[in-house]
Amino acid sequence: MSDSLATKLGFVEALVNNDADTGQFVMSEIVSADAIEGLRQLNQERNSIQHIAALNASESEARFEQLLPDVKAVLYELRKLRNVSFIQYRRSEPTPRDLKCRKFDGHTLGRMNYDLCLSEAQFAAIGANLTANRLYAELGEDIFCVVPV
């Protein structure tokens, strides 16, 4: 059976590696290899807890207290994610630099319509690769594709 969180961590790791390979270093500034490894370890702990007999209240509390420092450390490593929004490009209108997108913020799958007017520098960086439904990350003035082109 597939572990979907492990698969998603693999995707994130591939994005970070692609980022380093292309010399952009935007994703790797936000998500470190240590954070990915920490998430993997916490996921393995979660999986092991699911496969053992039900824990009583004191065992659950002890396990939680044991893992809490690791959870806090990973959350600290991922603190820069709060500044990232994901946008899904839909189309350009009325000009190629005026984008109609969907924006995803936070942990929710909820989305909202989002109009974005790219600066000349932003359009130069991503304009040639704009494709309907492609996912981009927006971090301040930086916009970059999060799927390999």
Please report the pLDDT score of residue 17 as a whole number: 81
What residues form DSSP beta bridges with 138?
85, 143
Closest-CA residue to 102 (of 131, 133, 126, 124):
133
102 in Cβ contact with 116 (< 8 Å)? no
Does residue 147 carry a pLDDT above 90? Answer: no
State the residue for tokens 């059976």. 1
Tokens coding 82:
């709060």
Please report the pLDDT score of residue 148 as a whole number: 63
Reduce the DSSP state of residue 133 to 3 states and report it.
Answer: coil
d(CA 91, CA 59): 53
Phi, psi (degrees; rounded to nearest 5) at 92: -115, 135
pLDDT per residue as tens digits for the range 47-86 = 877 766 677 778 878 888 999 999 999 999 988 888 888 8
Q: Which long-range contacts (CB under 8 A, 24 or more apart) does 98-103 make?
A: 99/130, 101/136, 103/138
